[in-house]
């Protein structure tokens, strides 16, 4: 199903690696792209564009200052990942466009009501990267085919085999 990730509240100094990893996980597990709110971060965007240039796409990165606008204007269902939500195995997500929302620091209460689903990957605090990986794997699995890749891995028992197609 077509998935977009919304990474809320990005702070370039504190969240650079975590937001980058959210985007890498989103891409690897088949999302079409990531929207991020908080503070605009051209370096983060450049890092992801470079990954897409080497390893393929399509995958978009878009900044949206207002997370509220990003959620309200999204055409499709919205799933907010939170440890307070319902267990992910028990929530049925219908086929169709899906916005998967992950937070950084404290997530405003309004997000819980704007979302169609509040979904927990276990009822313990952990990480947006982990929550995103488990949830996307659950709904989509890993993505195997990427367009325009300059590099491709041949899986091997030992060592590193990287092809240049
Ligand atoms: N303390 C913050 C709050 O209460 O909103 C959450 C901070 S947590 C480090 C950052 C993000 O990781 C959360 O917004 C959520 O998206 C995700 N997350 C952490 N644990 C989770 C869990 N058990 N299930 C689903 N998502 C989780």
Q: Domain of 29: which CATH number?
A: 3.40.1280.10
Burial of 35 per CB tally in 10 Å (0-12, 13-18, 19+): buried
pLDDT of residue 105: 85
What residues pair up with 57 in beta bridges, in sequence order? Answer: 147
Atom 26 in ligand 1: residue holding the nearest Cα = 82
Alpha carbons 141 and 150: distance in angstroms, whole number:
23
Q: Helices 42-55 and 12-28 sit at what angle, rounded to 10 degrees?
A: 20
Residue 99 CB coordination number (10 Å): 23
Residue nearest to atom 13 of ligand 1 (CA): 103
Q: Separation of 158 CA from ligand 1 center, angstroms?
A: 36
CA of 104, closest atom in ligand 1? 10
> For residue 3, what pLDDT is reported?
98
- DSSP E strands in the chain: the ranges are 3-10, 33-38, 60-63, 77-87, 98-102, 117-120, 152-153, 162-163
- What pLDDT, on the 0 to 100 scale, is given for residue 18? 97
Domain of 28 in residue numbering reads as 3-163
Closest to 93 measured CA to CA, from 111, 115, 113? 115
> Mean pLDDT of successive 10-residue segments in the chain (165 residues)?
96 94 98 97 98 97 97 98 98 96 95 98 98 97 93 94 85
pTM score, whole prediction: 0.96
- CB-count burial class (<10 Å; 0-12, 13-18, 19+) for 136: buried
Overall domain count for the chain? 1
């Amino acid at each position: 199903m077509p998935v977009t990730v919304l990474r809320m509240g990005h702070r370039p100094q504190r969240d650079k690696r975590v937001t980058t990893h959210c985007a890498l996980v989103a891409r690897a597990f088949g999302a079409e792209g990531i929207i991020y709110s908080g503070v605009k971060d051209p370096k983060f965007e450049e890092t992801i564009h470079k990954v897409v240039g080497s390893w393929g796409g399509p995958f978009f990165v878009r900044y949206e200052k207002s997370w509220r606008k990003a959620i309200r204007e999204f055409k499709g269902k919205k799933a907010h990942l939170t440890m307070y939500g319902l267990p992910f195995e028990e929530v049925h997500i219908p086929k169709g466009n899906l916005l998967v929302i992950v937070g950084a620091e404290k997530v405003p209460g309004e997000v819980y009501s704007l979302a169609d689903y509040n979904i927990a990957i276990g009822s313990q605090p952990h990480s947006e990267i982990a929550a995103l990986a488990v949830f996307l794997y659950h709904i989509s699995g890993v993505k195997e085919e990427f367009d325009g890749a300059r590099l491709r891995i041949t899986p091997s028992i030992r060592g590193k085999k990287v092809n240049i197609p």
